Structure 1
Amino acid sequence: MMDYKRKKREVSAESALSKVMFICSRQEKCCFDIRKKLCEWEISSADQDQIIQTLIDEKFLNDERYTNFYVRDKFRFNRWGRIKIAHHLKQKQIPEYIISDAIDQLDEREYTQNLQDILSSKIKSIREEDPYQLRAKLFRFAQGRGFESQISLQIIDKLISKKD
């Protein structure tokens, strides 16, 4: 059996610009995502800079807008905590001040309620009699979702005391 590799088509800077404009008009993207796409198309770094600047000038790209949507969506739909959201945004090279501004917009009561809901759901699926083991499993679960230790422990203690 022969190994077929897809032949890469040459993409001109003008063509790349129109393609990424279309992509950005369909879905919110950040500069990092677009630069990655342009690298895949083997666009020169000078052309990449020009394309990204054009997208910013034409309001197709806005890292603050992207970050606000990302934070809200990952919190509401994926039920992630602040730590995990911030980590993923840092990987996309979003500046720290933009991340913290977006995360600060999360409603504290909704945030705590979200964690309580996912831990309440998780406690039902854990078959553990030892309260220390149960607490450890719930804590690891909350950490994996990116919630802060202090909030996690407060809610876990409330849930375990109710269970007894």
Structure 2
Amino acid sequence: MTNITETEALNKVAAYCSTAEHCRAEISEKLQRWGLPYDVIDRILKRLVDEKYIDEERFCRAFVNDKYRFAKWGKVKIAQALQLKKISYNTCRQFLNEIDEEEYLSILDSLLTAKRKSIHAENEYELNGKLMRFALSRGFEMKDIRHCIQLSDENDDFE
């Protein structure tokens, strides 16, 4: 965009922010792509924060919730994504710690159960290795993966 005024830019990003949660870094990048000077960008961002269009904590809570519930991401992957969005470590950690452990492990367990059906392996060792790599790629921690794989191995004995 060329020759956009500060007021037009503010109105556009305010409308954009009112449709979904966005973080400060996303809006800053958008304004930079529009070719606005940094002092104008700073004023717009300050106003958006003051008027609660942008709220890092609200964004972080929504992001964490959506990514683990709907995208089925693990805590590691969520933390990395938030770091890329320049969300502070403390804010990120606060909301990752609010994730219900039982629900989190249940999501991981259902992912592993579904993946188990599509994996071809020569033996249990190879199968578990493939399941672990899959879960690690989704951002789950090894302690949680081991917990769920042991549970499913124990459940197999009762069938």
TM range (shorter): over 0.9
Displacement after TM superposition at 1:161 (Å): 4.3
The alignment yields a C-alpha RMSD, in angstroms, of 1.1
Determine the structure 2 residue equivalent to 1:137.
130
**TM (normalized to structure 2)?**
0.95
Partner of 1:80, secondary structure, is: coil
Matched, 1:37 2:30: yes
**TM (normalized to structure 1)?**
0.92
Determine the structure 2 residue equivalent to 1:52.
45
Q: Take 2:147 and 2:47, find their aligned partners in 1: how far apart are those partners?
A: 48
Q: Which one-letter code corresponds to 2:113 in the other structure?
A: S
Displacement after TM superposition at 1:156 (Å): 1.3
Out of 60, 85, 90, the residue aligned to residue 83 of structure 2 is 90
Matches within 5 A, 1:148-159: 148-159=141-152
Q: Take 1:56 and 1:108, find their aligned partners in 2: how far apart are those partners?
A: 32
Matches within 5 A, 1:1-164: 8-163=1-156
Instruction: Flag as ranges the 4+ runs of structure 1 deviating above 6 A.
Output: none
Displacement after TM superposition at 1:109 (Å): 0.5
User: Which digits, 9 at most, give the CA deviation of each residue in 1:88-142, with x for residues without a partner?
Assistant: 0000000011101111111010011111111011101112131111111000011
User: Which digits, 9 at most, give the CA deviation of each residue in 1:53-96, with x for residues without a partner?
Assistant: 00001110000000000000001100111000000000000001
Give the aligned length.
157
Q: Take 1:158 and 1:75, find their aligned partners in 2: how far apart are those partners?
A: 21
Q: Which one-letter code corresponds to 2:83 in the other structure?
A: K
Q: Take 1:25 and 1:38, find their aligned partners in 2: how far apart are those partners?
A: 16
Q: What is the aligned-residue identity percentage?
A: 36
